[in-house]
């Protein structure tokens, strides 16, 4: 069974032109897939459909054989574009990461020992054990994104989806984040979908690259990517 399957998915906002048209592909369990494409090409819309946050106009999506978001379906961790919750407040890394347990335990009552252990493990996995009690606003952009990844990990997801996680992050932090995700994939066996216009940072760690521009215009190994798509002017901003 595949981790993700899109079957003839099309999408248009009401009254607007098609954003996606007849998109079909499968992602195997444990794959690390990069998703890129031009501004407005539909890559963010696609990831939201895959996660059940938008409903396709036609076609269907399955996540581990189930409709996304269905009760009892395998859990999904999601890092949306420009995750900023808590950055301006004095919330600590541990406090932010602990919110990732809500999907498992509910919003009421104190954290159990199992919850606290899960939070500590996630923080250690992303390399922030020594900053667990630091406020989020004191961390660099790259470290903040690591904290948000740790929050997603505490929900014990089978699939981790990240939408533009390195926007505004320097090149060294992009490389570091790519390496972290590769390690997490190897250690936890999870499937990773990584949406980014700066896909050069993950090109050496993803097993497959999808280019989206209304449909799938390329699906294959990064080494086989046509040279014209390496030009950053083809791909920037949201979409």
Note the pLDDT tens digit of each residue in 102-156: 766 666 668 889 999 999 999 999 999 999 999 988 988 888 889 999 999 998 8
How many Å separate Cα 125 from the centre of its chain?
Answer: 17
Note the pLDDT tens digit of each residue in 171-220: 788 888 888 999 889 888 899 999 987 677 678 889 899 999 999 999 99
The domain ranges of the chain are 1-74+158-239, 85-156
pTM above 0.75, yes or no: yes
Q: Give the Cα separation of 34 and 210 in Å (integer).
A: 6
**Tell me, which fold does domain 1-74+158-239 have in CATH?**
Rossmann fold (3.40.50)
Sequence-distant (6+) residues with CB within 8 A of 156 are: 75, 104, 118
Handedness of CA 137, 142, 146, 149 (dihedral sign): positive
Tokens of 128: 């922030």
3-state DSSP helix/strand/coil % of the chain, to nearest 5: 35, 25, 40
The DSSP symbol for 167 reads T
Q: Give the Cα separation of 233 and 170 in Å (integer).
A: 18
């Amino acid at each position: 069974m595949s981790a993700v399957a899109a079957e003839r998915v099309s999408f248009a906002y009401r009254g607007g032109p098609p954003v996606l048209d007849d998109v079909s592909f499968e992602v195997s369990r444990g794959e690390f897939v990069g998703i890129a494409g031009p501004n407005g090409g539909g890559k963010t819309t696609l990831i939201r459909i895959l996660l059940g946050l938008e409903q396709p106009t036609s076609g269907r999506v399955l996540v581990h054989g189930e409709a996304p978001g269905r009760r009892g379906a395998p859990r999904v961790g999601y890092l949306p574009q420009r995750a900023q919750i808590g950055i301006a407040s004095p919330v600590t890394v541990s406090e932010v990461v602990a919110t990732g347990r809500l999907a498992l335990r509910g919003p009421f009552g104190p954290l159990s020992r199992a919850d606290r252990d899960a939070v500590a493990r996630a923080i250690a996995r992303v390399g922030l054990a020594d900053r667990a009690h630091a406020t989020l606003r004191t961390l660099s952009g790259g470290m903040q994104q690591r904290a948000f990844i740790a929050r997603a990990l505490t929900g014990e997801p089978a699939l981790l989806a990240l939408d533009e996680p390195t926007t505004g992050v320097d090149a060294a932090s992009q490389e570091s984040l790519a390496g972290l995700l590769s390690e997490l994939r190897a250690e936890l066996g999870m499937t990773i979908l990584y949406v980014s216009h700066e896909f050069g940072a993950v090109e050496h760690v993803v097993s497959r690259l999808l280019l989206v521009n209304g449909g799938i215009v390329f699906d294959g190994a990064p080494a086989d990517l046509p040279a014209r798509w390496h030009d950053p002017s083809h791909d920037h901003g949201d979409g």
